[in-house]
Amino acid sequence: MEQARAIARQRLEVHGRVQGVGFRPHVHRLASALGLTGSVCNTSSGARVEVQGPPAALAAFRERLFSELPAAARVDEWTVADAQPLTGQGGFEIVASERSDAPQLTVPPDMAVCGDCLAELFDPADRRYRYPFINCTQCGPRLSIIKDLPYDRPGTTMAGFTQCAACAAEYRDPASRRFHAQPNACPDCGPRLEYRAGADGEPFLGEDALARAAAT
């Protein structure tokens, strides 16, 4: 019983710019690192986090949740409440978004390419070498692809692009900076450049499109 009493559960409601900025992956990594179980999901007003574990670890979680926020995230307001600890918790997971009829969200802006993506972009050995639509949880399109909130791939213009196996593996890997990166894409599965000289012109794709456009 001593053990059971030492376990607590808390629910945090976080408001601000917390969607499309790597917030859920941040929560997942932090909770996992601290050995906490629970879940995080996007809601119509931000994000909801449920964490369970020893009180000291929960305190460390709350501290680092905000002190180590992803660069593009911004928390305007948050609340915490005690919840009933659950049994049979296997780990920490990112769960499906909750919806309501009245979204009160801060839509994330598009973000300039980050240093890590830039390095890949110009690395001939990288599978996204010179891929113009490169992105990750720290950069890339948000506002310009969002059609619906909460922010998830099916609610964006990326819905029609099914991730290839390599991209899907990154999306599922907590250690990847593309973990739950909604616009994740590569030359094999994502959008690509197309160039036509006039509406009826022959289409040129990818590098050819770029070369044609530059020469025009």
The residue ranges that bind Zn ion (CB under 5 A) are 114, 117, 136, 138-139, 164, 167, 186, 188-189
Angle between helices 55-67 and 23-33 (to 10 degrees): 150
CB-CB contact of 147 with 158 (8 Å) = no
Closest distance of CB 205 from Zn ion, Å: 16
Closest distance of CB 53 from Zn ion, Å: 31
The number of CA neighbours under 13 Å toward the Cβ of 57 is 17
Q: Select 54 or 70, whichever has its Cβ closest to Zn ion.
A: 70
Q: Select 105 or 114, whichever has its Cβ closest to Zn ion.
A: 114
Q: Select 57 or 159, whichever has its Cβ closest to Zn ion.
A: 159
Closest distance of CB 8 from Zn ion, Å: 36
Planar angle of CA 86, 96, 9, nearest 5 degrees: 25
Q: Select 36 or 114, whichever has its Cβ closest to Zn ion.
A: 114
DSSP summary character for residue 87: S
Residues 127, 125: Cα–Cα separation, whole Å = 7
Residue 175's SS3 state is coil
Closest distance of CB 186 from Zn ion, Å: 3
Token pair of 128 as six digits: 């996204």
Among 32, 40, 34, 42, smallest CA distance to 91 is for 32
Closest distance of CB 117 from Zn ion, Å: 3
Q: Select 99 or 127, whichever has its Cβ closest to Zn ion.
A: 127
Closest distance of CB 22 from Zn ion, Å: 10
CB-CB contact of 173 with 165 (8 Å) = no
Q: Select 33 or 121, whichever has its Cβ closest to Zn ion.
A: 121
Question: What are the beta bridge partners of residue 92?
Answer: 38
